[in-house]
Amino acid sequence: MEKVIRIGTRESQLALWQAHQVNNLLTAQGYRTELVPIKSEGDIDLVTPLYEIGVQGIFTKSLDIALLNGRIDIAVHSFKDVPTQLPQQIVTAAVLERGPVKDLLVYKTNTDFLEQPSYIANIATSSVRRKAQWLRKYPHHQLHNLRGNVNTRLQKLAAENWDGAIFAAAGLERINVRPATSIELDWMLPAPAQGAVVVVCREDDYFSLEACAAFNHAPTALATRIEREFLRTLMGGCTTPISAYAHIQNDTVFFEGEICSLDGTKCFRTTRQTSTGNAAGTGKDAAEELLAKGAAEIVAQIRNVK
């Protein structure tokens, strides 16, 4: 009997969109597939702020277990949710071509308040990275926690007395729910691997590895590897205000990375440019540069807060 590749996914609309992209790529090659939705801790607990849950891998752990138990053959993740250290016996099978990278502000009525220094705006996000960057630019604003999938967060924004909330453009655009009342935050540096989708499988599953290798997008794989290397070297996870973005043009890698204190008052930033052939270690070198400049103090403070 021909082998069926069982695709593990979270149950949110966005996660299912991602899983369907992988499903389509596999079926286009003639593979038989099956979607297997699995709940994650991050989907079940929508109240506790992410940084209190011990967030590393909260959206991926259930799928990792299903992989290792042989319940599924591959798992599809938003790459920015994946810990920089994969569990033993699990490897990256493919990185899809990257989608939109930027963050968006979805606002209630208008954006006039951004130009009013005396106005204390109420902005919602549960991302410590977005909070730190927002407070750095607007230190007098009030930040509020906002959890749940994309649709839940949009509904919460509509119900609460907030001026706006911050979302990843990719999440809203992929499922066609980006409101007209939204603007791109060009000044906000994204999370490492934001906008990218990754497929993982067991390291000894050569059938799935071969099937997925055909749609691995090498430039996105390289860019996200540099960003995640930067994150890993700085001890980062979802609970750390670390941002990184690498993009490739004409065989040249352009990299930006930064780490902020939780309140945004301190920030260390670096930029790098190198050829794709010499890109190995770019993320690590950039992170070590910031640690040497004083970022180690921010890392120590964040560790003490946890």
Q: What amino acid positions are annotated as catalytic residues?
A: 81
The 8-class DSSP code of residue 294 comes to I
The H helix count followed by the E strand count for the chain is 11, 13
Residues 6+ away with beta carbon under 8 Å from 152:
46
Residues 61, 87, 228, CA angle at the centre, nearest 5°? 90
Place of tokens 């440019």: 273
Q: At 284, which amino acid appears? A: K
Distance CA 259, CA 3 (A): 45
Cβ pair 162, 145 in contact under 8 A: no
> What is the three-class DSSP state of 215?
coil
Cβ pair 149, 13 in contact under 8 A: yes
The 8-class DSSP code of residue 97 comes to P
